[in-house]
Amino acid sequence: MRSFKVGTSTCGVSAGADKVLERLLSLAAESDGAPVAVSETGCIGMCYREPLVEVVDGPERVLYAEMTPEAAERLYRGATRDELEAHVLIEGESGDRDGFLLEQHRIALVNCGHIDPADLDDYLAQDGYAGYRKAVTAMTPEEVVAEIELSGLRGRGGGGFPTGLKWKLSRASAADTKYIVCNADEGDPGAFMDRSLLEGDPHGVLEGMAIAGYAIGACEGHIYIRAEYPRAIRRLEAAIEQATARGLLGRGVFGGEIDFEVHIKQGAGAFVCGEETALIASMEGRRGMPRFRPPYPAERGLFDKPTNINNVETFANVPWIVRNGGAAFAALGTPKSKGTKVFALAGKVVRGGLVEVPMGMTINRLVLGIGGGVREGGRFKAVQLGGPSGGCIPASLGDTPIDYDQLTATGAIMGSGGLVVMDDSTCMVDVARYFLSFTQSESCGKCTFCRIGTKRMLEILEAICAGGGREGDIERLETLGRQISAASLCGLGQTAPNPVLTTIRYFRDEYEAHIRDKRCPAHVCPSLVSYSISEAACTGCGACIKVCPVDAITGRRKELHVLDAEACIRCGRCYTTCQFDAIIKD
Amino acid sequence: MKQMEHVSAPDPPALPAFGRALWRYRGQRGALIPLLQSAQETYGYIPKQAIYEIAGVTGIPPAEVYGVVTFYAQFRLEPQGRYVIRLCTGTACHVNGAPMLEETIEEVLGLKRGETDGERLFTLESVACIGCCSLSPVIMVNDETFGKLDARKLRRLLKRFKKAARQEERG
């Protein structure tokens, strides 16, 4: 039987996968010939070639990229692979044509893009819930904790705290009730691996939570998930229902004495809730503000009960570790960072998407190799790692291996794994201003340095970008940054200055160009850019004249137009309107 | 206690979902945010009335409920336009031109972030990241996502929605 699998994660749907799926489903419904199966799957990570459709016909498997409803219909009606040669991305067991998957090693993402996330049997066929069964039926909780400790798994949400140790502490807390919480409040702009995991393999995360529940002695789990992820929420709800109906979750799992129920809690949009104690406050229905630690959540967490909080990707690694043993996981990676890590590659990179690579791979290998380098011939300038808590690592440090401690040494952090590639058209001062404006508006306001300090830093950065930078601004930013890091209670404040401090460290010359020469080398900051019209390229079409809000451009039709630099307010509308590249930015 | 009277005579009329959520409330811990979410799902925003109703049922002071509403980005105190535009301001979108999209939206619709136009046709919101970084820069209009935009494509798109909104308003 032929079967069609359409990748319908949020990224696929945004690229039009839902229309492809709809067409295939309606064709299958009206067909009276040989049965054809049409199903959905998650994201294989090749977001840059969405929508993807995999066609399985007996022993033949072909993955087609950039599909349209029309192309899918041709395939359905029997077009051969040769006729759709341009769309072919992967054939059989050989690697993909772009070499995107070649160096990847998939543990957390292993099922994403392969199984139907809505079908529990698909997951079971991939050894699904075998890890949980093994834990519950053949291991003591202490043995499970020891296995996780042996694996060297560290928190994938950003902090990098050893997961085994966290479990051990939660296990050691004596209480009648304990909780497992899955932190799915993925708020870092530029990171989407948790969403893809939940959409593509919800059972994998649920199984990880259930194993954690057995290990620490909790019979209740909560998933705190962003409300902005409706598709992931729907898939999780369906997965919980199916697993409960089969006795894999809920009361008396595997027909035994162990209970584990899972509930979904929707977040309401606050970046600070990624922090453990703020997340707990939010789950209890209060404003999501962090509190002083200790006591740590492992002793006193949700509703004052011991609570073990791990991130989505951390849980997704757990079933594999229990099935294959901690030593197998620890065999991958570097001495202090074991296993693999998922990265969301984005920005000015040719092949954007999700990749999972062994720890220790260099940034260059990841960006230039797997990612295919910089888009549209730009020059690789830096990567931003770790979102608003992270920093910019310059291309000159591209040989830095991906490892918690080596990345921290550069001033950036591993973070949740958002990796945004920047080229010479990116202004580093503007990037710093962008992140500061994000953290400043997300600061909960509890700590003075974070609340007021980030505001002051943002004002200085805005002034620099607007051409009002003064001597001493760089030093003021550095001092404020150090003070905010030292005097904030939670991770948000402690790391908020990182994007500014790392860009000053590696791109000080750009700051100086803005402050001293009133020049933005990347031509990004509007106030520091001037516009003129190229005599050679201008066709006199008049489009720029129409959009100029201050009538600074004059000229007759089909004659060279003239831009009055004095009157120009540098809004850039002429630049985005001109179809002939006749407006020059300088 | 005077405010409690509203509970028995709700206005605007309590629509099914929110009413049911209030009815089902039995003192569960941590129910405030789900109740607010249900109110917003029903009304499209959090009317003042809903704050008092929730306060009355849960025993949480209205000021504290209001504090929670204003803390979280998801909750709105004003009704929105027919089309809600969510401008993605994630990192990838930012470096690939989100500021230019924002200017274009202001140019065509006259809206800044957080604003709704007088006819309630459009609301402009920003969102930190919708996770479609490989399609950046991206906007969402209601539930539909539009990626790989530039100023020209966006102008065309907005004009199309403007026309549709006007027509729907008339018809």
CA–CA distances in Å: residue A62 to residues A59, A80, A533, A567: 10, 11, 50, 58
pLDDT of residue A17: 93
DSSP B56-105: HHH---HHHHHHHHHHSTT--SSPPPSEEEEEE--HHHHHTTHHHHHHHH
Nearest to A339 by CA among A519, A83, A162: A162
Cα A309 to Cα A99: distance, rounded to the nearest angstrom: 36
Cα B135 to Cα A15: distance, rounded to the nearest angstrom: 8
CATH number for the domain harbouring residue B106: 3.40.30.10
CB A41 within 8 A of CB A115: yes
- Output DSSP code: residue A154: B
Cα A420 to Cα B8: distance, rounded to the nearest angstrom: 53
Domain coverage including residue B18: 2-71
Element (DSSP H or E) covering residue B125: strand B122-127
* Structure tokens, A23: 């067409």
Burial code (b: 16+ CB inside 10 Å, e: under 16) for A194-224 equals bbbbbbbbbbbbbbbbbbbbbbbbbbbbbbb
* Structure tokens, B11: 């206005």
Mean pLDDT of A212-240: 94
Is residue B119 included in any domain, yes or no? yes
CB A420 within 8 A of CB A347: yes
Mean pLDDT of B3-12: 43
* Structure tokens, A214: 């057995």
Cα A398 to Cα B46: distance, rounded to the nearest angstrom: 49
Nearest to A315 by CA among A192, A390, A221: A221
Taking the Cβ of residue B37 and every Cβ of chain A, the question of whether any pair is shorter than 8 Å is answered with yes
- Output DSSP code: residue B134: G
Is residue B48 included in any domain, yes or no? yes
Taking the Cβ of residue A539 and every Cβ of chain B, the question of whether any pair is shorter than 8 Å is answered with no
- Output DSSP code: residue A284: T
Mean pLDDT of A141-150: 98
pLDDT of residue A191: 85
Identify whether residues B141 and B62 lie together within a single domain.
no
Quick one: CA torsion of A113, A118, A119, A123, rounded to 10 degrees?
A: 50
Identify whether residues B65 and B93 lie together within a single domain.
no
Count CB atoms within 10 A of the CB of residue A22.
13
- Residue A5: strand pairing partners: A39, A54
Chain A, 356 to 385: residues with Cβ < 8 Å from chain B are 384
Identify whether residues B63 and B126 lie together within a single domain.
no
Report the helix count and the strand count for chain A, using DSSP H and E. 23, 18
Which residue type, as a one-letter code, is found at position A464? I
From B71, B102, B122, give the residue that closes a domain: B71
Element (DSSP H or E) covering residue B123: strand B122-127
From B46, B71, B96, give the residue that closes a domain: B71
Mean pLDDT for chain A overall:
94
Residues of B in contact with A547 (CB under 8 A): 107
Cα A113 to Cα A355: distance, rounded to the nearest angstrom: 12
Q: Is A346–B134 a contact, with Cβ atoms under 8 angstroms apart?
A: yes
Query: Is residue A175 left, alpha or beta, with left meaning phi > 0 and alpha meaning psi from -120 to 50?
Result: beta
Element (DSSP H or E) covering residue A546: helix A543-547
pLDDT of residue B9: 40
Taking only the tens place, the pLDDT of each residue in B19-53 is: 888 888 888 888 999 999 999 988 889 999 999 99
Q: Is A47–B133 a contact, with Cβ atoms under 8 angstroms apart?
A: yes
pLDDT of residue B3: 43
CB B59 within 8 A of CB B102: no
Burial code (b: 16+ CB inside 10 Å, e: under 16) for A348-386 equals bbbbbbbbbbbbbbebbbbbbbbbbbbbeebebbbbbbb
Cα A6 to Cα A71: distance, rounded to the nearest angstrom: 13
Q: Is the pLDDT of residue A303 over 90?
A: yes
Q: Is B71–A287 a contact, with Cβ atoms under 8 angstroms apart?
A: yes
Interacting residues of B19 by C-beta distance below 8 A, sequence separation 6+: none
Chain A, 229 to 248: residues with Cβ < 8 Å from chain B are 229
CA distance B167 to chain A (A): 25
Residues of A in contact with B95 (CB under 8 A): 347-348, 420, 422, 426, 431
Identify whether residues B115 and B162 lie together within a single domain.
yes
pLDDT of residue A11: 82
- Comparing A135-139, A318-322, A373-377, A560-564, the range with the smallest average pLDDT is A373-377
Is residue B78 included in any domain, yes or no? no
Residues of A in contact with B104 (CB under 8 A): 576
pLDDT of residue B169: 82
Domains and CATH numbers, chain A: 2-91 (3.40.30.10), 120-330 (3.40.50.11540), 340-423 (3.10.20.600), 428-516 (1.20.1440.230), 530-585 (3.30.70.20)
Q: Is the pLDDT of residue A241 over 70?
A: yes
Q: Is the pLDDT of residue A520 over 70?
A: yes
Interacting residues of A46 by C-beta distance below 8 A, sequence separation 6+: A52, A65, A89, A96, A98, A100, A351, A353
Pairwise pLDDT comparison (B117 vs B131), residue with the higher score: B117
Query: Which parts of A170-209 are beta strand (E)?
Result: 179-184
Cα A141 to Cα A148: distance, rounded to the nearest angstrom: 11
pLDDT of residue B16: 66
Identify whether residues B67 and B87 lie together within a single domain.
no
Q: Is the pLDDT of residue B171 over 80?
A: no
Is residue B76 included in any domain, yes or no? no
Chain A, 35 to 64: residues with Cβ < 8 Å from chain B are 47-48, 50
Taking the Cβ of residue B28 and every Cβ of chain A, the question of whether any pair is shorter than 8 Å is answered with no
Q: Is the pLDDT of residue B81 over 70?
A: yes
Give the ipTM: 0.87
Identify whether residues B130 and B153 lie together within a single domain.
yes
Identify whether residues B67 and B95 lie together within a single domain.
no
Query: Which parts of A18-164 are beta strand (E)?
Result: 36-41, 53-57, 60-64, 88-91
**Nearest CB to B37 within list A268, A387, A434:** A268
Max Cα–Cα distance, chain B, nearest Å:
56
Identify whether residues B90 and B157 lie together within a single domain.
yes
Return the residue matching tokens 């497992």.
Answer: A180
Q: Tell whether omega for the bond before A499 is within 30 degrees of 0, i.e. cis.
A: no
Identify whether residues B25 and B99 lie together within a single domain.
no
Taking the Cβ of residue A343 and every Cβ of chain B, the question of whether any pair is shorter than 8 Å is answered with no
Q: Is the dihedral of CA B143, B149, B154, B157 positive or negative?
A: negative
Q: Is the pLDDT of residue A555 over 80?
A: yes
DSSP A297-327: TTTS-GGGS-EEEEEHHHHHHHHHHHHH-HH
Q: Is B128–A189 a contact, with Cβ atoms under 8 angstroms apart?
A: yes
Identify whether residues B98 and B43 lie together within a single domain.
no
pLDDT of residue A533: 95
Return the residue matching tokens 């509308």.
Answer: A573
Map residue A430 onto helix, strand or coil.
helix
Identify whether residues B59 and B88 lie together within a single domain.
no
Q: pLDDT grade, residue B6 (50/70/90)?
A: very low
Q: Are strands B139-141 and B83-88 parallel, antiparallel or unpaired?
A: antiparallel
Cα A401 to Cα A384: distance, rounded to the nearest angstrom: 15
Identify whether residues B162 and B88 lie together within a single domain.
yes
Q: Is the pLDDT of residue B2 over 80?
A: no
Max Cα–Cα distance, chain A, nearest Å:
86
Number of domains in chain B: 2
Is residue B95 included in any domain, yes or no? yes
- Comparing A189-198, A314-323, A456-465, B108-117, the range with the smallest average pLDDT is A189-198
CA distance A377 to chain B (A): 15
Q: Tell whether omega for the bond before A294 is within 30 degrees of 0, i.e. cis.
A: yes
pLDDT of residue B15: 52
CB A156 within 8 A of CB A281: no
Q: Is the pLDDT of residue B8 over 60?
A: no
CB A366 within 8 A of CB A417: no
From B71, B93, B119, give the residue that closes a domain: B71
Mean pLDDT of B67-79: 94
Count CB atoms within 10 A of the CB of residue A35.
10
Map residue A370 onto helix, strand or coil.
helix
Cα A113 to Cα A467: distance, rounded to the nearest angstrom: 48
